[in-house]
Amino acid sequence: MKDIIQCSGGVFLPHMPRTYKNKRIVISCPEDLPRCRPARSARLPIASTEFLLTGILQQALDLPPYRLDGPPAPHPPSAPAPATRASKGKGASGPAPAPPGSAKRRR
């Protein structure tokens, strides 16, 4: 799993994390849940290996179906995300442009 995590852009942690950090997820199996007590105490999500493998194949993360530790627990508040250009409030102006190839050609 270490190689899969690193090849997909993740960071493998050699020891069980004991503190909450945003975007940190513990990958485990039901048999090893007792060994995840430090992560559970830190309210880190614990997911099955299928979460990682399915996420890589589909290029999308969907944590709830693969959680091993039950419903999400509230976690410490984090700093608000900085505003991006898309969220600065310049709403859409007019209809969306037609995709290439669908517009009629005029002669």
What are the sequence ranges of the domains in the chain? 2-75
Please check the confidence at residue 42 and state whether its pLDDT lies above 90: yes
Q: What is the pTM of this model?
A: 0.63
3-12, 43-52, 60-69, 77-86, range with the lowest pLDDT: 77-86
Q: Is 46 helix (H, G, I), strand (E, B) or coil?
A: strand
**pLDDT, position 80:** 55
Q: Which CATH class is domain 2-75?
A: alpha beta
Mean pLDDT of 48-73: 89
**pLDDT, position 76:** 53
Please check the confidence at residue 91 and state whether its pLDDT lies above 70: no
**pLDDT, position 69:** 86
Max intra-chain CA distance, the chain? 72
In angstroms and rounded to an integer, the radius of gyration of the C-alpha atoms of the chain is 21
